[in-house]
């Protein structure tokens, strides 16, 4: 079910976050369908812009990056040559290459099929998510329309749980946006100060990467290191790596649980544990949604407890 459920879940979360934008556009005279299309095109445009900026920066640095990458490999070989364990490392590398050669050759066809299937799944899931997101944005009822004139106790309880879920989801992305902004600005400014090219692109990639806990920081940092390697060689790349690791360690491990805890009204430790567990169970989607889902579950439990749902009858 994952090819269907994951796009639908992501589309539902995006619809909750961006529904106020559609409502604002509709309130200012734009047809709700056109408002949904405008928001959808805006989101797609942002993704295309990030991909284009990243690709352009890599292409501009491709020749220098290739040359400096070779120099970095030579430097590392030189360090290993002076190491007392260099012979053992060389022997182990030779044995590993010899043993894995046949297995690698036999697995190329299967790997190619797996890559094609993955790309097909990504394209299909993206199209499905965009379609679902459009209809959720266009047909999503307003808050006033969802409320009954004289709700029963059960309807009022469900409405409070729904309101809390919307608040938690929007609060999460609001807090994550603050973290992403700090991440992108700090890494981008550091790159500019160090003389790394495409500092703006580095900041943009790290900004959007911060929305995916841990995994996004890895890709954002890797992009910054590649740009530094292409410009100044191994030394500048190591300095940029230290900056990226330092910034992400502070934001991911210290500031993120605190800021998201304030947004979600959840203690930092449960957020950290939930995010880690979510990534282990559901990959990137689990990393992104674990914290708000934890807050939604805790708020729902509180509402149910206050309503007497867990009380024994009689």
- How far, in Å, are 216, 266, 298, 299, 306 from residue 293 at the CA level? 20, 11, 9, 10, 20
* Confidence check: pLDDT of 95 > 70: no
- 58's CB contacts (< 8 A; 6+ apart) are 65, 223, 226
Residue with token string 């938690």: 168
243-271: average pLDDT: 74
Is 210 within 8 Å of 50 (Cβ atoms)?
no
Burial of 15-44, coded b for 16+ CB within 10 Å and e otherwise, reads: bbbbbeebbebbeeeeebeebbbbbbeeee
* 64-68, 184-188, 268-272, 274-278: the lowest-pLDDT one: 64-68
261-287: average pLDDT: 78
Is 54 within 8 Å of 205 (Cβ atoms)?
yes
Q: Which tens digit of pLDDT belongs to each residue from 121-178?
A: 677 778 888 888 888 888 865 444 455 556 677 778 888 888 888 888 888 888 888 8
Coil vs helix vs strand at 166: helix
Q: What pLDDT is recorded for position 145?
A: 47
* Confidence check: pLDDT of 285 > 60: yes
């Amino acid at each position: 079910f994952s090819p269907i459920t994951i796009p639908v879940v992501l589309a539902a979360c995006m619809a909750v976050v961006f529904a106020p934008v559609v409502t604002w556009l509709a309130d200012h005279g734009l047809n709700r369908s056109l408002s949904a299309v405008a928001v959808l095109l805006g989101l797609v445009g942002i993704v295309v812009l990030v991909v284009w900026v990243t690709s352009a920066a890599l292409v501009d640095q491709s020749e220098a990056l290739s040359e400096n990458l070779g120099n970095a490999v030579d430097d590392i070989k030189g360090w290993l040559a002076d190491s007392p364990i260099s012979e053992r490392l060389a022997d182990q590398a030779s044995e590993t290459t010899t043993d894995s050669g046949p297995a690698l050759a036999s697995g190329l066809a299967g790997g190619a099929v797996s890559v094609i299937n993955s790309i097909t799944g990504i394209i299909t899931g993206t199209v499905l998510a965009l379609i679902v997101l459009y209809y959720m944005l266009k047909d999503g009822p307003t808050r006033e329309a969802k409320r009954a004139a004289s709700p029963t106790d059960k309807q009022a309880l469900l409405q409070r749980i729904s309101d809390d879920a919307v608040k938690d989801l929007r609060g999460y992305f609001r807090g994550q946006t603050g973290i992403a902004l700090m991440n992108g600005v700090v890494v981008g400014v550091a790159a500019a100060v160090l003389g790394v090219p495409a500092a703006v692109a580095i900041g943009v990639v790290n900004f959007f990467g911060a929305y995916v806990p841990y995994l996004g920081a890895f890709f954002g940092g890797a992009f910054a290191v590649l740009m530094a390697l292409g410009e100044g060689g191994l030394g500048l790349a190591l300095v940029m790596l230290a900056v990226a690791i330092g910034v992400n360690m502070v934001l991911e491990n210290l500031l993120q649980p605190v800021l998201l805890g304030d947004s979600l009204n959840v203690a930092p430790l449960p957020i950290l544990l939930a995010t880690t567990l979510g990534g282990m169970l559901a990959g990137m989607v689990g990393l992104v949604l674990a914290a708000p889902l934890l807050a939604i579950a805790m708020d729902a439990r509180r509402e149910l407890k206050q309503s007497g749902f867990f009380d024994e009858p009689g």
